[in-house]
Structure 1
């Protein structure tokens, strides 16, 4: 019997406006576009699922099925507006730059 050939398939994409080395919690702004067993894609922040209208749902089924192209487009449009502790990626990066520019005491 021969060993089966390995199959490589992308099943998850990460969309994030925060550079990974910008701060220790840059991952908190990430959106994940994930392939489900049913062949459809979903957008998640790790806790909830985003639908085509920009509404978050507690279940993948509430958000509805998406194609890869639609899911990536929605995630890319949403990523700049993600908010963590009141900060969007833009305001967080501005704050980090301001803190780094302050002289050390």
Structure 2
């Protein structure tokens, strides 16, 4: 199990402050007075695309910052699922899988 890629459902289920509706990921504690838009981000596991999501944020830069913070949180949960903490994030959608 250690080299498999964790799913978005695995990592989100362990964090009560994150909401995922199948397409968009939201931080439940975000300020409701700030306008947010959906921005694409790609989460990678061990350098391989794991999943793309739309992350609600005020700007693409803040979406990426939030995604990287979320990757850190996901990495904290990774050991609970038998995975190494190798999750990272980058802006944009993940490239299509070649396999």
Taking structure 2 as the reference length, what is the TM-score of the superposition?
0.31
Between structure 1 and structure 2, the one with the greater Rg is 1
The structure richer in helix per residue is 1
Which fold has the larger relative contact order, with Cα–Cα distance below 8 Å and residues 6 or more apart in sequence?
Answer: 2
